[in-house]
Structures are given as structure tokens and as C-alpha cells.
Amino acid sequence: MHTLEGKVAIVTGANGNLGRAVATAFHRAGAHLILIDRSADRLAAAYPDLASSSDHWLAGGVDLSSADSVDAMVAGAQERFGRIDILVNTVGGFRAGPAVHEESLETWDFMLSINLRTTLNTCRAVAPVLLAQGAGRIVNVAAGAGLNAPAGFAAYSASKAAVMRLTESLSAELKGKGIGANSILPGIIDTPQNRDAMPDADFSTWVTPEAIADVILFLCSDAARAITGAAIPVTGRM
């Protein structure tokens, strides 16, 4: 198993299906976890064994769409642990359906905010910390739809494509300073919500959160030290 022993890792969207899988994989690999969610109560319910641990921080009440809120969280993480080694952005959302000329601007704003702005805010806040240390890893969750946009997916696909381009620029800017930045491109994730939404689908072809978490763990480990700027499909058998 890849080790993150002693590393300090921020995981956004820690109460989501993928966020929980990443947190579990990182915990087993020995990382100190900073788990982010807007609700402190949800975090405490999801991670009761970590709530009182000095080795981890359940950072509830963080609004990732607010740069000030993110900056305060990063400052708190530095004060608590003295360093940050890893940032994983799993937070995000999905809306699709109408054609481009029928889609509301509210949906466009929501997709760009929850998928791009949240990722941008955390990367902007964490990058100076990693630069000061001369080392670190960033993994952002984009999507396969960011490469090929189906009909009705314009707002979602554009926001995820923007995450990919953001990650590529980060990699180009930071790779000479010992910092790697990569994105992953999941297909349909096997979650209870997706099963409810698509009950007639073949779930066996979907990718599980645990399988995606394994790829993220690899990218954050020393085994992936030569990889940066990649956009890696993680699509199961689709």
C-alpha cells in the first residue's frame, strides 16, 4: 500500500461519497487529515472516531466559494499542524438537462461556483504554503464530461473542463518548485444517489468511490513523484 505517513492532507467535500472514500484511504495510509465540509454536524456524524483526535481536524463551517473562508481554514491548518502537504478537491456538483439556449444562467453560475470557484479558492490558498515548503501534491477532481460534452451537459462540462485547464496551469507554474498537480476524470460514480437516478443502468460498469480514492492516493504518494500535469481517466468499465 502507498504510504502518506506523517503527511498533512486537506480533503474537501469530505462528507460526500468520494470524499469519504479518500479520507478512509488516506487515514489507512497514515496521513493527518483536515476534512472540509460546510456542516460541522455532518462531519462529526461521518467521522466520530476522528472528532476528538489531535492528529486530525474536522473543519466544519467552511464555505469553499468564499476566499476569506478558505484562507481562514488554511491559516488554521498551518497553526494546528505547522504544514500542509496535500490538497485533494473532491467537492463538486452536477446539473444537466436543457440545451445551451434553454439552460438558466443560474445553473451556469452554480456549476462554475461549485466546481471551479471552490477548486480555485483552495488552490490559491494552499499553493503559497506548498511553495514555502518546496514540496506538495494537488489533485483536483474534474470529469470525463470535461473532455467530451454530451447534449445537455454544457454548464457541467464547461466547469469541469475549466478545472482541468486550471490544474494544467498550476502544474506548469509549480512543477519546478517540487509541487505536483494532477486532475482525475471519473465517469459515472457508483453511489446510492446515481443508482436511484438511473435504476435500469448496469452498475457493474461504473467506477466505485474506493477505486477512485486508490488512484488519488497513488497520485499523492512518492510513487507518483514523476507525474504532474496529467488528466487521468478513471472510468471503471464504461
CB under 8 Å to 12, separation ≥6 — which residues?
Answer: 19, 36, 64, 87, 88, 89, 90, 91, 118, 122
Question: What amino acid occupies position 3?
Answer: T
CB under 8 Å to 84, separation ≥6 — which residues?
Answer: 8, 9, 10, 34, 74, 77, 78, 126, 129, 130, 133, 136
Q: Which residue among the candidates 156, 158, 179, 185 is catalytic per the annotation?
A: 156
Evaluate whether 154 touches 107 at the Cβ level (below 8 Å).
Answer: no
Q: Is 47 a catalytic residue?
A: no
Nearest Cα neighbor of 115 from 71, 151, 166 is 166
Q: How far apart, in whole angstroms, are the C-alpha atoms of residue 216 and residue 16?
A: 15
- The residues annotated with a catalytic role in the active site are 156
